Amino acid sequence: MIRLFVPKEIAAGERRVAATPETVKKYVKAGLEVVVEAGAGEGSSIVDSRYAEAGAMVVADAKGAWAEADLVVKVSVPSTAEVARMKAGAVLVSFMAPHRNLDVVRKLADARVTSLAMELVPRTTRAQTMDALSSQANIAGYKAVLLAATRLGKYFPLLMTAAGTVPPAKVVIMGAGVAGLQAIATAKRLGAVVEVSDVRAAAKEQVESLGGKFIELPMQESGDGAGGYAKEMSEDFLRKQREIVMQHLAKADVVICTALVPGRKAPILVSDEALKVMRPGAVVVDLAVTEGGNCTQSKADQEVTWNGVHILAPSNLAGSMAEDASVVYSRNVLALVLNFVKDGALALDLGDEINAGSLLTHEGKVTHAATAGLMG
């Protein structure tokens, strides 16, 4: 019988958990033995007794559980110390950010641990239930608007009062991926006027369907990348984009930055020059800070006030809504695990595009080509 282990996350500020009582029941039904580290669900308001009632064994000895596990499911990138506890041939499913954690990838390969990275799950129709990037980005986009609304010193909606009319806040959203689209919907529900910039022409229809106004850019080159992601654009295009968007930033009360390019540094969209034309009291929320940030003055998990503009750069906004973030993330993980667990046994079919696409290390090798290239 496969022994699946759910550890308590040790990364600073990480409150999410990779399995909930709901998914534990489904693992048990699929023939797995589930072991949960005591306190693993505390950050998501899940007490140990609920895991036990779902059929898991709750243990205090994390070191022993790591060593005995055939399969480990996590949220945050494992530490090298955690990898060292795993036995050869075990399988790890987690977010990995491999391009930023080459030492961990090397340790996984050396330990002969098979790892599947949640951010490498292919963006295909069949893999939608496993798309953790989207499930967590959706939460981040929602929370980013609430964070901005809390920090902004004015109303979001249009108000007509006895003391006169208060105009609505003007929100500019950079990037219309999953986080950006949720940010549009949330800002509109709060009554703001929303404008959106994206390098993908195909995003215009989605933006307008949510009530946002699409900022037209010079589309001499396409920003549409594989799997619905944006691709890296030329410096000339980005310069023209910044020039056009700056006119809108000058009038903005809030800017939400969500632009990412998989495996690469985030593009700079809000430069020092742009910050200089923004009004004092405006708020920037930069969701791309883990990849360098879309704003030049962003500092991870700090608030910076620069030229009167308040810049917020939370590195784990989804984790700040740990209860729902854990619910959807655990379902993503479950769907991926059940894609390679058959009849209670590990059956990692590398002919399956989802398994092959998600695979990071296997049998002592780094199997993800881009990561292997970074490692030389």
Catalytic amino acids?
Answer: 123, 128, 131, 134, 229
- Say how many Å lie between the first and final Cα of the chain, rounded: 38
* 28 SS3 class: helix
- 141, 183 in Cβ contact below 8 A? yes
Exposed, middle or buried by CB within 10 Å (0-12, 13-18, 19+), for 274?
buried
| Bridge partners, residue 5, by sequence | 35, 72
Q: For 68, phi and psi rounded to 5 degrees?
A: -95, -10
CB-CB contact of 327 with 24 (8 Å): no
Q: Which residues contact 26 (CB under 8 A, 6 or more apart)?
A: 334, 338
Tokens of 73: 């499911």
DSSP assignment, residue 54? H
Pairwise CA distance, residues 69 & 77, whole Å: 17
Cβ distance 194 to 277 under 8 Å?
no
CB-CB contact of 136 with 260 (8 Å): no
Q: What is the CA radius of gyration of the chain?
A: 22
Interior/surface letters 180-214, b for 16+ CB within 10 angstroms, e for the rest: bbbbbbbbbebebbbbbbbbbeebbebbeebebeb
